[in-house]
Amino acid sequence: DVKVTQSSRYLVKRTGEKVFLECVQDMDHENMFWYRQDPGLGLRLIYFSYDVKMKEKGDIPEGYSVSREKKERFSLILESASTNQTSMYLCASSKQGAGWTEAFFGQGTRLTVV
């Protein structure tokens, strides 16, 4: 069974803390994504990676960075957490290929910044 695993389901962090959200996929996918999900706004892309050490900014990269040192792992970093980063974070992965390939999602990490 294909799997995208996010390391935490729930996190509570303090304002100003450095926060790491980890995502691992076991499908040998080249593409990995971090989305943020907020009520009424749907999913918004934060960062995208298409290969090890390669990344692209998404629609809302401000306040975030990412790391992809290994193909299977994609980390989202909040350098200095703020209350407006309280949200649900979803990781996804997909295979590269001609046309379109399905993205598989993790279960999400609900982050609360206090």
Partner 1 sequence: AQSVTQLGSHVSVSEGALVLLRCNYSSSVPPYLFWYVQYPNQGLQLLLKYTSAATLVKGINGFEAEFKKSETSFHLTKPSAHMSDAAEYFCAVRRVDSSYKLIFGSGTRLLVRP
Closer to partner 1 by CB, 38 or 79: give it. 38
62 contacts: CB under 8 Å, gap ≥ 6:
none
Shortest separation between residue 7's beta carbon and partner 1, angstroms: 14
Residues 50-109 that bind partner 1 (CB under 8 A): 50, 58, 90, 92, 94, 96, 99-103, 105-108
Residues 21-40 that bind partner 1 (CB under 8 A): 31, 33, 40
Ramachandran sector of residue 46 (left: φ over 0; alpha: ψ -120 to 50; beta: rest): alpha
Residue pair 56/82 in contact (Cβ under 8 Å)? The answer is: no
Tell how strand 109-113 and strand 10-13 pair up: parallel
Report the interface residues with partner 1, using CB under 8 A: 4, 9, 31, 33, 40-45, 48, 50, 58, 90, 92, 94, 96, 99-103, 105-108
